[in-house]
Amino acid sequence: MKYSVFELFFLASMLFVFFGCSTEKKQEESSATVSSSPFGKLPNGQEVTAYTMTNTNGVEAKVISYGGIITSLKVPDKDGKLEDVVLGYDTLQGYLDASPYFGAIIGRYGNRIAKGKFTLDSVDYDLAVNNIGNHLHGGLTGFDKVNWNVKEVASEKGVAIELTYQSLDMDEGYPGTLDVTVTYTLGNDNTLEFNYQATTDKKTVVNLTQHSYFNLTGMKDDVLGHELMINADKFIPVDSTLIPTGELRPVAGTPFDFTEFKKVGADIDVENQQLAYGGGFDHCWVLNEDPKEMSLAATAYEPISGRAFDVYTTEPGIQFYSGNFLDGTITGKNDKVYKFRSGFCLETQHFPDSPNQESFPTTILNPGETYQTTTLMKFYVK
């Protein structure tokens, strides 16, 4: 069968359009990437590697093997401009010298344990005391200060890396050899997902979280103008050393009411004993939804940039920390001085001091069980 010149031209055009579109689609699908590069060496000679995850929208998260630290997270503003919205350092040395847990995985136990003591099956355990007479964030060498094994793993959602670490029996005073896996997934819908798993060979306690400090202005201002909603009708009051009293107190009529959007700075300086203890907000909120079901915990929004993110979690609580201990003594990325309240944290977790509080949800992990929790942070523009 013979074709005219016109017909041949038409067929060629159709084939070009078909294969061209197909190629463009494949390029778009494959543009989500993970790359790696050196990020310095630890004093013991171990190499630290940085992993850069980029989704199909150009959103980028950089994670280092040391501490599983998120050193950079670039998300768009209302004009599409990508800026880094987490606090941290340009080099490894900053994290080694003076880091208030910037961007790190926290464990074995996130938050505080009173006087560094707890009891399991009539056996007393003593932990490092490293914060106002209490144990904080896993002790002197918590999971934020170890070099994790990292590898890229497949994800239908976007790109992902898997971090693994084995914490030996009596590490920092905790019983049991704990095998931990944390997976960071950067979805093509601009969701950053944290999936935590752990197993033990001896009865122990576990409470893992992620400790990124956020500033949605891209460090152009402090965080007091950010608007925050926390899906919680109760919070956990603390004593002067920030240990829970055991009460679950209604937020209604207090500065701790974030059930509707409110600026972080709206009530932060009012006269209130709990605010005085924390130097601002540094408390755990009791989430309204049933634990272990993925539900909305909080939403943060910065009106000038338009940046916002929702936090979903299977955890029963969320610690909101308003950067009260940042005091201008830290110079971070791009020579930015981290002044008072220049970053905030939303740490999904079980409640502080749960091993010593029988009425709180348990943090006990037994042999044969798997600890598993998931938190999502979905970034978007309003």
Q: Could you report the per-residue pLDDT of 168-195, keeping only the tens digit for each?
A: 999 999 999 999 999 999 999 999 999 9
Q: Say what the pTM is.
A: 0.91
pLDDT at residue number 15: 44
**Positions in the chain whose pLDDT score sits under 70:** 1-30, 291
> Which residues contact residue 332 at a Cβ distance below 8 angstroms, ignoring those fewer than 6 apart?
87, 88, 89, 90, 94, 102, 338
> Which residues contact residue 60 at a Cβ distance below 8 angstroms, ignoring those fewer than 6 apart?
52, 53, 54, 72, 73, 74, 82
CA torsion angle for 315, 269, 104, 373 (degrees, to 10)?
0
Residues taking part in catalysis: 211, 347
Contact 296, 288 (CB under 8 A): no
Q: Could you report the per-residue pLDDT of 255-291, keeping only the tens digit for each?
A: 999 999 999 999 999 999 999 999 999 999 999 987 6
Phi, psi for 189 (deg, rounded to 5):
-100, 15
pLDDT at residue number 4: 53
pLDDT at residue number 292: 72
pLDDT at residue number 112: 98
pLDDT at residue number 293: 80
CA torsion angle for 337, 131, 111, 329 (degrees, to 10)?
0
Phi, psi for 71 (deg, rounded to 5):
-85, -20
pLDDT at residue number 289: 85
pLDDT at residue number 19: 44
Signed CA dihedral, 214, 218, 221, 227: sign only: negative
Q: Is the peptide bond before 108 cis (omega within 30 degrees of 0)?
A: yes
